Amino acid sequence: MPFPNVRMRRLRKTERLRGLSRETVLDPGDFIYPLFVCPGTGVKNPISSMPGCYQMSADLIAEECEEIEELGIPGVILFGIPEAKDAVGSHGYAADGVVPRAIRQIRDQVPGMLIIADVCMCEYTDHGHCGVIRDGDVDNDPTLELLSKAALCYAEAGADVVAPSDMMDGRVAHMRRTLDEAGRQDSVILSYAVKYASAFYGPFRDAAESAPQFGDRRAYQMDPPNIREALREAALDIEEGADMIMVKPALPYLDVLNRVKAMSPVPVGAYNVSGEFSMIHAAAEKGWLDLKRTSHEMLVSIKRAGADFILTYFAKDVARDLRS
Ligand code: PBG
């Protein structure tokens, strides 16, 4: 007879007992901090829908990385806002583009920083889609060439990891081949293997100025109700050579994350996306939610669901909280 012998509340009585019983513990080492690189020097533009986040020029990004390093956060993921956009996103694979410049500057100033370069066309195309357009739709196979070019360009600038986020078919295999042929066998591919066509990316598209100018991304990103499809996507990317994979968004897809983690032989990250960040800030500003407690609870739930690491705009704040 469990009760009255068993009393679950005994182990909840003090913080030290709760500490001994704690199954999941957040650590700054779990986090990757996303950064938005823009042209120029000394530029720091606040992103209105993402409190505390900025578009920054390469020099300030490198300074920011010093702080990130001090906080014990192992790495950053870079998104570029280019000088100019065109139909084929050519600034996305220019050797002197915003992202390669930032990579070199970080490498110079904070040599140990883990640098992940997001690889996608949507920030660089004038139509805002994640590839080249033919007949009103993104044309898969020609897009692979451009993505691989971008990945190689970032690897050559010094990125440790390239992270394709476009959801084209076959991009991981294509990218692996391109990197290997150029002698970049050591470049890591972190695939956004399971990425949904989510409404939670709204604030990011303001930040990266990457909203599609017509239509939406449902013809290439995944349909939110699907989970078997997620397992297929993950399996295919692993087979194509992804070293690590990602599920995105995180909070509305914890079931997916949990299932992907259970089947994956490679590390699984989760992207706690812009909308997940902004909605908590908005509620906190209104006094409806406690910012610190809700952000910690959200991140620990993502880790508990199975994330090996978490890309999050909360990284700096939570790392600071964890230290104090
Ligand atoms: C680019 C990309 C997006 C995000 C990361 N990479 C947006 C999109 O697919 O529209 C979203 C990140 C966020 O919302 O924080 N393809």
Question: Which residue has 């812009």 as its token pair?
Answer: 274
Of ligand 1's atoms, which has the minimum distance to the CA of residue 123? 1
Three-point CA angle 267, 270, 273, nearest 5°: 160
| pLDDT of 297 | 98
Neighbours of 203 (CB within 10 A): 24
Computed over every residue of the chain, the mean pLDDT equals: 97
* pLDDT range class, residue 206, cuts 50, 70, 90: confident
Which position among 248, 261, 303, 316 bears the catalytic label?
A: 248
Write the pLDDT tens digit of every residue in 225-271.
999 999 999 999 999 999 999 999 999 999 999 999 999 999 999 99
pLDDT in tens, 4-56: 999 999 999 999 999 999 999 999 999 999 999 999 999 999 999 999 999 99
Q: Whose CA is nearest to atom 5 of ligand 1?
A: 165
> Quick check: CB of 120 below 6 Å from ligand 1?
yes
Q: Would residue 85 show up in a list of annotated catalytic residues for this protein?
A: no
* Least confident segment among 211-215, 249-253, 306-310: 211-215
Segments making up each domain of the chain, as ranges: 24-323
Ligand 1 proximity of 130 Cβ (cutoff 6 Å) = yes
pTM score: 0.97
Percent of the chain with pLDDT over 90: 97
Pick the CATH number of 24-323 from 3.90.1300.10, 3.20.20.70, 1.20.1280.50, 1.10.3720.10: 3.20.20.70
13 part of the active site: no
- Ligand 1: atom nearest CA of 130 is 16
Residue nearest atom 8 of ligand 1, based on CA coordinates: 201
Using the mean position of ligand 1's atoms as its centre, give its distance from the Cα of residue 204 in Å: 6
> 257 Cβ partners below 8 Å, 6+ apart?
247, 250, 268, 270, 302, 305, 306, 307
Atom of ligand 1 nearest to the CA of 211: 10
